[in-house]
């Protein structure tokens, strides 16, 4: 499956324990998203469009109203790397 470089970076961050935090407006529409790694650093270049692409392809999901995390399908789709830093 073809995955862009930004999608790869986001999935690697999520696979290592990161989360996606969402900000919504009063109409429950997504206004801003932030991808945070396990150390608390924000991923540069993560946008609402990238979030929607990952969600549409079912690489990420939210359970119980919590933050978005990588799914098993997302883990199997990302290429294995020793360290992506």
Q: Does residue 85 register a pLDDT over 70?
A: no
User: pLDDT digits over 9-37, tens only?
Assistant: 999 999 999 999 999 999 999 999 999 99
User: pLDDT digits over 37-56, tens only?
Assistant: 999 999 999 999 999 999 99
Q: Is 82 within a domain?
A: no
Q: Does residue 82 register a pLDDT over 90?
A: no
Q: Is 65 within a domain?
A: yes
Q: Is 40 within a domain?
A: yes
- 26/64 Cα distance (integer angstroms): 20
User: Which residues constitute the domain of residue 44?
Assistant: 5-77
Q: Is 85 within a domain?
A: no
The number of distinct structural domains making up the chain is 1
User: pLDDT digits over 52-74, tens only?
Assistant: 999 999 999 999 989 999 999 99
CA angle centred on 16, ends 63 and 20, rounded to 5°: 45
Q: Is 51 within a domain?
A: yes
Q: What's the predicted TM-score (pTM) here? A: 0.86
């Amino acid at each position: 499956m073809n995955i862009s470089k930004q999608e790869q970076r986001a999935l690697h961050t999520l696979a290592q324990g990161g989360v996606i935090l969402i900000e919504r407006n009063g109409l429950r529409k997504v206004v801003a998203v932030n991808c945070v790694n396990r150390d608390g650093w924000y991923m540069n270049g993560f946008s609402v469009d990238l979030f929607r692409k990952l969600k549409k392809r079912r690489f990420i999901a939210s359970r119980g109203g919590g933050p978005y995390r990588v799914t098993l399908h997302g883990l199997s789709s990302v290429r294995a790397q020793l360290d992506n830093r």
